[in-house]
A and B are shown apart, each in its own frame.
Chain A
Amino acid sequence: MSTIQAEKIADPWPIINRSNEPVIEIMNLKKSFDMEPVLVDVSINLYNGENLVILGKSGSGKSVLIKCIVRLLNPDGGTIHVFGEEVGQLGNAGLSELRKKIGFLFQSGALYDSMTVRQNLEFPLRRIKKGLTEKEISEKVIEVLENVGLADALNKMPSQLSGGMRKRISLARTVVVDPMIMLYDEPTTGLDPVTSDEISELINDVQQKYKTSSIIITHDIECARATADRIIMLKDGEVYTEGTIEDFEKSTDPLIKSFFK
């Protein structure tokens, strides 16, 4: 932990109902790579229906944190409960069931290069929502593509798309299976302000339309402003501060100010 103590920020909870059960409960999470600690002691709750933004410098372990939630990485210590179930204790079947409820937008988009946009969207649909008819699958694919404004990219290959289009397609691929929790890893990084705003809007749309709870990792303050109900900042593998966007903007802490310059 750094010696600079973050100033205490006012209780962020008029916005979100505290009696609300957390959908994700991370307690004392630890993770290191080759003796190099990345997450030292992280405890975070995500409450039902909220958009939680996580800020932090590059390399502060934000991606590692959300990968631990879906057990793409195994933590070294601590516990993670999602919908009351401890992720570390789940067997293969349980883990697979849990992952069906969580949408994960990867930092790199992670579109399947060898498949068209349509096949990319059909892939999770066929595997997660078993029992859909071909017609339902096709309708669903077109519906989400229209939501992200890219219905005409249906038969393109990912390599034919621009960076922003790819981000939007991966967003479409994530929401196509109606997840209950969304984990966005830097949804707007590398995009122009207009496209970023559109993505932020999409994130809010998803939250309202599908009543999802989301964790949004970002460096983009505009995106945080547009989407955040609550913000947590990570530093040196621990939670540095927590508050609303107003708290952060008013803060005099040098690290926070450098983000909100």
Chain B
Amino acid sequence: MGKFTPIIQVIPRVLPKVRDVTKHSMTRLSEKTLEQTGIFSRFLMDVADVSLFIGRLVREMFSGHFEWREFFQQCFQIGSKSLALISITGAIMGLVLTIQSRPVLVDFGAVSMLPGMVAVSLIREMGPVITALICAGKVGSGMGAELGSMKVTEQIEAMEVSSTNPMRFLVVTRFLAATLMIPLLVLYADLMGILGSWAGANIKGDVTFSLFFSQAFSSIAFIDFLPAVVKTFFFGAVIGLVGTYKGYNAGRGTESVGKAANSAVVLASLLVIVTDMIAVQITDMLMS
């Protein structure tokens, strides 16, 4: 018996240590797994949230009366706020594209193709994507910040108790306004781009506007034009959706307004690029 006494005496001293160590490693383990499952479940919850939001958006769009006044006001806001920015970017886009491509075309003796080439790349890709990215910054962040601050300062709740459906009044109108206005802004940017390109062509050459214009448009088939226009509606929808979603679901507290605006820009820009990729793939499949 005496042989065992030391062990028995040691047990009470060791046991707490063993317990501490296991507890410590257990919590570390569980923290890590929690973190991992946390990220995953948060992602799933986000997906569920967005789906619910889209569901509500669609339901409100087709039920009850439509807030025309707010819709037109939003269209005007989106158009007027981005017009100057889009004009400048569009024109510079066309100008730079022309100046850059000219030497290459000269080498191949194909300067006469310049207007057509610039027009095709503007209308098919540059115009839509660059305009959409600018609008993601301007319109998307604006919506995120506006709705976010309305949420934080209880304005959305105030609307709700004034028997106004904020989803219909704020979200549906802004979403549709973005979906409609961004394609128009893209068309406008295309036009400014061709103007800029004409200016660029005139730096080293001498073309009349009508000649340049007819050359540019003769090389654009309807088949170039249609998919480019269709995808801009999706760009608009993506920007409207992300902006309103981020703003409408802003957290509590002022810092969430900034977060909403910021994440609206990031996500909207990313989704514009992704949508563009998908659109190009689909067009490619349909054309071939």
Which residues of A are at the interface with B, using a C-beta cutoff of 8 A?
Answer: 67, 70, 72, 96, 99-100, 102, 104, 106-114, 123-124, 127-128, 177
Contact = CB atoms under 8 A, between A and B. Distances in A.
B256 interface: no
Interface string B122-165: 00000000000000000000000010011001110111111110
Q: Interface of chain A, helix or strand or loop or mixed?
A: loop
Given A113-B149, A114-B146, A67 B157 contact: yes
Contacts of B150: 112-113
A72 B157 contact: yes
B214 to A, nearest CB: 45
Contacts of B149: 113
Q: Interface of chain B, helix or strand or loop or mixed?
A: helix
A177 B162 CA distance: 9
Interface residues of B, number: 14
A102 B154 CA distance: 16
Given A113-B149, A114-B146, A99 B163 contact: yes
Contacts of A96: 163
Interface of B: 146, 149-150, 153-155, 157-164
Which of B146, B157, B161 counts the most chain A CB atoms within 10 A?
B161
Given A108-B153, A113-B150, A127 B158 contact: no
Nearest to B73: A114
Contact of B161 (A99, A109, A113): A99
A59 B159 CA distance: 24
Contacts of B146: 114
B56 to A, nearest CB: 13
B221 to A, nearest CB: 44
A96 B168 CA distance: 14
Given A96-B163, A113-B149, A127-B163, A107 B154 contact: yes
A96 B159 CA distance: 11
A87 to B, nearest CB: 13
Contacts of B158: 104, 106, 110, 112
Given A72-B157, A72-B161, A108-B154, 14 more contacts: A99-B160, A99-B162, A104-B158, A106-B154, A108-B153, A110-B153, A110-B157, A111-B155, A113-B149, A113-B150, A113-B153, A113-B155, A127-B164, A128-B162
Contacts of A112: 150, 155, 158-159
Contacts of B160: 72, 99
Contacts of B155: 110-113
19 contacts: A72-B160, A96-B163, A99-B160, A99-B161, A104-B158, A104-B161, A106-B154, A108-B154, A110-B154, A110-B155, A110-B157, A110-B158, A111-B155, A112-B150, A113-B150, A114-B146, A123-B162, A127-B162, A128-B163
